[in-house]
Amino acid sequence: MSYAPADTTLIATGPARHKGKIRRALIGGKLGDLGRLPRYTAFALLGGALIWAPIVGYLRTAPLKYTSSTSLILPGSGASASLNLNGIGQASSSANSAFSSNAVSPTETYKRLLNADRILAAAATALDIAQTDLGQPRVELVDQTSLIHFQMTGSSPEDAQARGNAILTAFFRELDALRTDEVKTRQDSSLQAIADYRDSVAGTRAVISSLQDDTGLLSVQQYDVLLDRNLTLETDIRSRTAALAEADAAVAALSQQLGLDPATAAKTLKLYADGAYLALIEEVARFGTELAEASAQYGAAHPLVVTARDARDTAQTAALQLASATTGLDTATLATLDLAPQGVRADLLSELVRKDVDRAGLAQELATLRAQHAEGQIDLNQKAAAAAQLQDLERDFTVAEAVFASAIARAQSSKSDVYASYPLVQVLENPSLADRPSSPNRKLAIAAGIAATFMMLIALVMGWVRLAVISRLLTKPAPKS
């Protein structure tokens, strides 16, 4: 009767003890339960070993690495230059600020260039090592500045510094190569444009030369000179026409007053130079005087009167015949003319002849001027269209020549603009020589181990007091509404 209950108690006790262990593992024991201390100690030792074993192994086995730092800076201001060539044109070159455009960041460009394969390959070749052994620079951009920092690691301070110098040298050599290639490419395009401009200038010059050969007009200025000369001829013609009209009026007035035309007056003056005629005139005057004296004393039939009259008539007839032979006029006409050389009549005759000569000179000059004006007008009419065409061609030639000269000047000045696409960069800090290893970082590793150990201990403490914390949370009264 007593065995069955005892057996029943043993069966019931097993599940209860099992549930108690599970509950204790989840909730924990009492704060004063030191029976848990061995387990917590074992966990602490195991956790410490898991934390410090990798740290100690890393510090003992990791090779020493040294870091060399380099700083680059991009100047923020640009540069420009301008050249004025008198009579040719203007050439200018400029290098804009590296940060003048928001579309492209030069620091990002140079950051990518520092990690470019050809930079690394050139640096590795310079150091006589494999590119995989060189590593890549760690590039850092400083916000709101134009600074670029990069670091290189090596097995020794000198090795790290040498790698930094190799990267820096390869970087600048590549920049120079890129700038040279850019200038060459732009120069090739400029040379092609210059060749086109040269062909344009030569073509225009050939057309001008052909037009000059065909028309004989060398320049528009020559046409302007011809036009001015023709206008001057018109002015001279008007002036000479007025002078000729004045001379005609003077000759006509004198001819009317003397009763002689200029030709007869000239012939009359010719008689005044004939000594025989003058002697006959004197004889006529002398016999006329004797006739007058005889007529005053005697009658018309007196022998003295008759002798004096016959002598006078004979001398007068001889004088008329001589005058007729000299002047070509008949004696009847000469008998009606006053051929006496005495008095102012001779002066008037001389004046008439002189004015007639002047009039003839003016008439000849006027005729010559009119002929020159007519010839010049024909020449101007023939060259008017050519002058207009030549003016257009010369203007085109001047423009083409100016463009050609400006293109040459621009091509030459563009060679100095090497910072257009790749801004100027300067070394602010040369690769440094490290005074201590950068890896492994013993202080950082130890600090990390201490921090991990401290966090593990905090976790163990929280596990030790978790029953008290859970019980307090469960028994905490609900807040009143």
Whether 53 and 103 map to the same domain: the answer is no
Boundaries of domain holding 320? 223-393
Lowest mean pLDDT across 79-88, 100-109, 435-444: 79-88
Q: Tell me what the mean pLDDT of segment 119-143 comes to.
A: 90
3-state helix, strand, coil in the chain (%, to 5): 70, 10, 20
User: Do both 119 and 183 map to the same domain?
Assistant: yes
Structurally, how many domains does the chain consist of? 3
Same domain, 246 and 367: yes
Residue 342, pLDDT score: 52
CA 217 to chain centre: 33
User: CA 159 to CA 80: how far, in whole Å?
Assistant: 41
Residue type (1 letter), 48: G
Q: Could you read off the pLDDT of 435-474 as tens digits, one per residue?
A: 887 767 778 888 988 999 999 989 888 877 777 777 777 7
Would 22 be classed as within a structural domain?
no
Looking at the structure, tell me whether residues 256 and 359 fall in a common domain.
yes
In a domain, 455, yes or no: yes
Q: Cβ atoms within 10 A of the Cβ of 159, count?
A: 18
- Are residue 135 and residue 262 in the same domain, yes or no? no
Which pLDDT does position 445 carry in this prediction?
82
Do 259 and 283 sit in the same domain of this protein?
yes
* Residues 432/150, Cβ–Cβ less than 8 Å: no
Answer whether residue 215 is part of any domain: no
At 39, phi and psi to the nearest 5? -65, -45
- Residue-wise pLDDT for 389-422, tens only, equals 777 777 777 777 777 677 676 666 655 566 767 8
Specify whether 245 is located in the same domain as 136. no
Examine the pLDDT at 122 and tell me if it is beyond 90. yes
Q: Which pLDDT band holds residue 6 (cuts at 50, 70, 90)? A: very low
201 bridge partner residues: none
Give the helix/strand (H/E) hosting 153: strand 147-154
User: Do 108 and 55 sit in the same domain of this protein?
Assistant: no
Q: Model pTM?
A: 0.47
Closest-CA residue to 226 (of 35, 94, 373, 117):
373
Residue burial 441-479, b: 16+ Cβ < 10 Å; e: rest:
eeeebeeebeebeeebeeeeeeebeebeeeeeeeeeeee
CA distances from 44 to 33, 39, 453, 460 (A): 18, 9, 9, 8
Per-residue pLDDT tens over the stretch 180-193: 888 888 777 777 77
Q: How far apart are CA 1 and CA 102, in angstroms?
A: 100
Contact present, 341 and 274 (Cβ < 8 Å): no
Classify burial at 210, counting beta carbons within 10 Å of its beta carbon; exposed 0-12, middle 13-18, buried 19 or more: exposed
Q: Are 163 and 308 found together in one domain?
A: no
In a domain, 478, yes or no: no
| 197 inside domain | yes
Does 24 map to a domain? no
Classify the C-alpha dihedral 372-376-377-378 as positive or negative. Answer: positive
User: pLDDT tens, 29-64?
Assistant: 566 667 678 888 888 899 888 988 888 887 777 677
Residues 357 and 454 in one domain: no
User: Does residue 146 lie within any of the structural domains?
Assistant: yes
Q: Note whether residue 461 is domain-resident.
A: yes
The whole-angstrom separation of Cα 398 and Cα 26 is: 101
From residue 303, alpha-carbon distances to 139, 286, 297, 300 in Å are 159, 18, 12, 8
Q: Are residues 189 and 299 in the same domain?
A: no
User: Of the candidates 431, 445, 429, 435, which has an alpha carbon nearest to the alpha carbon of residue 156?
Assistant: 435
Residue 398: closest CA among 215, 220, 188, 217: 220
Q: Residue 20 is encoded by which pair of tokens? A: 């108690």
C-alpha neighbours within 13 Å on the C-beta side of residue 212: 14
- Co-location of 88 and 203 in the same domain: yes
